Amino acid sequence: MRISPSPLIPSFLVGLMAACAAPIPAPQPWPLRPDPVGQIGGERLADLLHLSLDLELDHEAREVRGVASSWFRALRDDTSELLLHGVGLEILEVHDAAGEALVFEVQEPQIRITLARPLAKGEEEVLHVRYRAQPERGLYFRDETRFSENFAPSLFTQGQKHNHRHWVPLWDEPNDRATLEVRARVGLSMELISNGQLVEVERHSAESRTFHWRMEQRVPTYLLALIAGRFDRYRAPHPSVELEFIVAEEAGEQRARETFGETASMMNFFEKKLGTKFPYPRYAQGAMADFVTGGMENATLTLVGESMLGTHEENQDLEGRPRRIIAHELAHQWFGDQVTCWGWSHLWLNEAFASWMELAWVGEVEGEDARRLRLEQYRERFLGRADRVALPMALDWHTQGCSPNRAHHVYTKGPWVIEMMSRFVGPKDFDAALALYLERHKDSLVTADDFVRAVFDATGRNLMPMVQQWVWSGGLPELVVQHEIAGQEVNLQLEQSQVPSHTVPLFDCPLSVDLVTSIGRVRHELRFSERSHAWRLPFEGELLNVLIDPDGALLSSLRQTKSEAFWMHQAADFEEPLAVWRALPALRQIAASSPAARALLLRILREHPEPLLRQRAARQTTWISEASRAALVRATCEDPAPSVRSQAARGLSSHAPGRPFNGRDPLAQRLVAAQETETSARTREAITALLLIGDAP
C-alpha cells in the first residue's frame, strides 16, 4: 500500500524538531524481538484453501448481498469450530458442504462457527455464509468521476489491513493464503473486474450481468479486490504479461497512457534487478474515483486514485508522484503479494522493500542524484514525524494502539534500512540475495529471519545485527558534531544525543568523514558506538569544509556546527547535489545578513541542473529581498520544471502582502503573460492567487 504522504516538513525545521520534540510517553514494554504468535493476528484453527464470493452489488441501495464460501483444511484433530472475521454484517445463515445449517455466533470482529461434526487433521470443509451488508468501510460506492459531472456509478474495495471484514465474511489476516474466485452481479452499464483472469460473463436480462473472475495463485485475502464501473480499458504490449490500464470512460486514453505507460519497462527493470519473473500472467491497474489511499497492490489488480491520472505536464506537476506510486505498487507484487509479511507487525517486509524499489526506478529513469535526493526527502519525512521516530519497525501494533495504516516510518525509515543493508552487502550481491529470498519464499509468509537467512546463504553476510539495531529497535543516531582546527589537525567531536530507552539504543555504525581542503579531499572511515567520541584527523593545505557522511550512507539526524564559509563552500559545489541539499537550510539563515549567501541561493535557484535542488532553493527563497522577488518571478515564468515553477509561485505569495502585485508592476505584467501560456495547473492557480492578492485593496 502507498499511504497519502504527510506534508513535507521544511528542512530547516527538521533538526530543530528532532531536537525539541515533546518527550514521547514511554510505551508499555514489548519484546524487542516480535513475538511471532501474538503479532500474526492470532492462531489459525485451519488452513484456508479457497475463497469464493457469489455476490450482488446494488449500487443504488449501497448494498452487497450474497454468499461468501471459505474452504478450509483442518490443521489439528478434533477441530470442532472455525473462525471468520466480520464487522457490521447481517449474517443470514451458514451451512456446510453437505447443506447442513451450522450454528454460529457473532463476536465482532469474529464469527465462530460450530461444525456439524469435528474434523480430523487434514480433512476439508466448506463454510457457505449467506449475508448482506451496507458497508461503511472496505467497499466504497461512488456516483461521479473527476472527469465528468454526469452520474457515473463505480465501486471499489480496499482490504489492507482489516477492512474487507466490513463488507464480506472471510478470514481477514495476512497469515494465510488462498485462491480467490469472484462471481458478482452488477448493473448492465457496469463492468466488474477482480483478481486473476476473467472466466466468463453471464447476461441475465436487460438490466444486469454477472462477471466471474478467478485467481489461481494463493494470496492473502487482504489482496482480494473488486472494482466495477463504466470503464475504458487499454492494453499495453508485453511479451509474457497481460498489461491493462483501467480508467473512467471520460478520462481518456492519453491520460491513461501518460500515467501508466512506463509499466512495461518498469516491469522489465524489476525483473532484471530481482532476477525473477513477474509473479502473475496478468497485471491490471485501475484509477478509482475518490480512492481512499495513495495506492493498493491487490494481487494482479493495483488500484490508485483518479487524481493520479494526468497529462505528462500534470504528472510533472505532481513532482513525479504517480511514477513513484506505480513503481511502489508494482514492486509489491513481489514484496507483499508473492512473498508476504507474516502478520501486520512485520509490515516493513512489504513496505520497506516497495519504497526502496520505487526509488530504484527513480534512479533508473531520473538518475542516481534524483534517487539520492528522494531518499533525503524520506529522511526528512521520517524525522518530521517525531511521534514515530522511537518506534521499532517491527512492532506489535495491536497492543500499542497504533494502526499500521499510519505506520509512516515503515515507508520512510524502511527504504533507508534496506539501502544501508544493500550498501553493507554490496548492491550486486544484495540483489542476488533478493532473488534467492523471493524464489525460496515464493507464495509463502516471511519474517525477518527468512530474509536474513537468504542473504546469508547467498552472500555469507549476516544482517542480523542490522535487523536488531534498525528493525527491532527504534530511533536513529541523533548526531551532534563539532570540530576545532588545531594546526594541521581537525579535532572532531561526535555525540549521540538520542535519549536511550528500552526501544532506542546507542547505535553502532560506520561513518565516513571527508575533509575538504585547498589541495583536495581526504576521506576518514570512522566508527561510533559510544555516547561520545573524539578523533584527531590530519589534513594538508587549507581546510575548506568538514563533510559528515558525505555519501548519505547513514540514516541519522545531524546537527553540525560549522562556519558560514564552510556552508557557502558546500552550497556552491554543484558537483555534489547531496551536499547542496543539506547546505540549503543553513544558506537560507546565512542569507539574512550576507549578500554573498543571497546571491548563491539565487544562483542555485536559477542554474542548478537538478530540479529537486532548484525547487528546494525556491522554498528557501521566500522572504529575502527585492532580488529574490525578481528571481522567483523569473523561476515562475521560465523554469523548465513545472514543480519548480509552482514552488516559486507559492514562494512569491510570502512577498505579496507587503508588496502587492498590481498592474503597474513590471513583474506582475510578466506573471500575467506567463499565466496565459502556463501548462501547469498548480502554477496557474498559484499565479492567480498572487494576482488576486495584488488586486485587493
Nearest distance from C-beta of residue 480 to Zn ion, angstroms: 34
Report which residue type is found at 694. Answer: G
Is the bond leading into 562 cis (omega within 30 degrees of zero)?
A: no
Nearest distance from C-beta of residue 134 to Zn ion, angstroms: 29
Nearest distance from C-beta of residue 159 to Zn ion, angstroms: 13
- Nearest CA to 179 out of 50, 284, 73 is that of 50
What gap in Å lies between CA 445 and CA 178, rounded to an integer? 12
User: How many CB atoms are closer than 10 A to CB 249?
Assistant: 15
- Nearest CA to 402 out of 383, 415, 423, 388 is that of 388
Binding residues for Zn ion (CB under 5 A): 1-2, 351, 354
- Helix 263-274 and helix 321-332, axial crossing angle in degrees, nearest 10: 50
Q: In what order do the strands lie in the sheet with 242-248?
A: 231-236, 242-248, 282-288, 301-305, 295-296
Q: What is the DSSP string of 108-160?
A: TTEEEEEEEEEEPTT-EEEEEEEEEE--SSSEEEES-BTTBSS---EEEE--T
Nearest distance from C-beta of residue 662 to Zn ion, angstroms: 48
Nearest distance from C-beta of residue 158 to Zn ion, angstroms: 13
- Nearest CA to 173 out of 69, 354, 48 is that of 48
What gap in Å lies between CA 562 and CA 513, rounded to an integer? 14
Report which residue type is found at 239. Answer: P
Nearest distance from C-beta of residue 519 to Zn ion, angstroms: 47
Nearer to Zn ion, 351 or 366 (CB): 351
Q: What does the buried/exposed string (b/e) look like for 542-574 if buried means 16 or more CB atoms within 10 Å of the residue's CB?
A: ebbbbbbbbebbbbbbbebebeeebbbbbbbbe
Q: Give the H/E segment covering residue 480.
A: strand 478-486
Nearer to Zn ion, 197 or 293 (CB): 293
Nearer to Zn ion, 3 or 126 (CB): 3
Q: What does the buried/exposed string (b/e) look like for 363-372 if buried means 16 or more CB atoms within 10 Å of the residue's CB?
A: bbebeebbbb
Nearest distance from C-beta of residue 414 to Zn ion, angstroms: 9
Contacts of 54 (CB under 8 A, 6+ apart): 66, 67, 68, 69, 183, 184
Residue 213 grid cell: 473472475
Nearest distance from C-beta of residue 300 to Zn ion, angstroms: 16
Contacts of 674 (CB under 8 A, 6+ apart): 636, 637, 687
Radius of gyration over every alpha carbon of the chain, rounded to an integer in angstroms: 28
* Cβ(635)–Cβ(618) below 8 Å: yes
What gap in Å lies between CA 356 and CA 429, rounded to an integer? 16
What gap in Å lies between CA 329 and CA 358, rounded to an integer? 8
What gap in Å lies between CA 54 and CA 210, rounded to an integer? 9
* Cβ(167)–Cβ(69) below 8 Å: no
Nearest distance from C-beta of residue 331 to Zn ion, angstroms: 8
- Residue 363 DSSP SS3: helix
Nearest distance from C-beta of residue 351 to Zn ion, angstroms: 5
Measured at the alpha carbon of residue 557, what is the angle toward residues 552 and 558, in degrees to the nearest 5? 85
Nearer to Zn ion, 158 or 675 (CB): 158
| CA distances, 396 to each of 37, 38, 411 (Å) | 10, 8, 17
User: How many CB atoms are closer than 10 A to CB 439?
Assistant: 14
| CA distances, 652 to each of 125, 648, 656, 662 (Å) | 67, 6, 6, 14
3-state helix, strand, coil in the chain (%, to 5): 35, 30, 35
What gap in Å lies between CA 565 and CA 101, rounded to an integer? 81
Nearest distance from C-beta of residue 3 to Zn ion, angstroms: 8
Report which residue type is found at 67. Answer: V
Nearest distance from C-beta of residue 328 to Zn ion, angstroms: 5
What gap in Å lies between CA 367 and CA 252, rounded to an integer? 30
